[in-house]
Amino acid sequence: MTAIRKASGDLIETNVDDETIIVALQSGQLYSVKDTSAAIWRMIDGETGRDAIIDALAQEYRADRAEIAKDVDAFLTDARNAGLLAC
């Protein structure tokens, strides 16, 4: 298992109602995540890996693991491309 980590030191985040607002300090970019994306973001703790996130979401949402995997992979790709995750 490879743990997924948020980009350290460059992000601040806050929860507002049902969404999480993330600010990349270096670029000044603002990101908003809700629903499944917010659930994925909350599980990125530097200790949890992709498969554990998929398993937890599949159980929480009682959804097909393959469908959850597609969503998780898309989110992780977007987050990496945005510089929100440590490589």
Average pLDDT, the chain: 93
Residue 87 has pLDDT above 80, yes or no: no
Asked if the structure places residue 52 within a domain, the reply is yes
pLDDT at 1: 62
pLDDT band at 76 (very low <50, low <70, confident <90, very high): very high
Q: Where are the alpha helices (DSSP H) in 1-87?
A: 35-43, 50-61, 65-81
Segments forming the whole domain that contains residue 44:
11-81
pTM score: 0.90
Note the pLDDT tens digit of each residue in 40-73: 999 999 999 999 999 999 999 999 999 999 999 9
Does 51 map to a domain?
yes
Where residue 31 sits, what CATH number does that domain have?
A: 1.10.10.1150
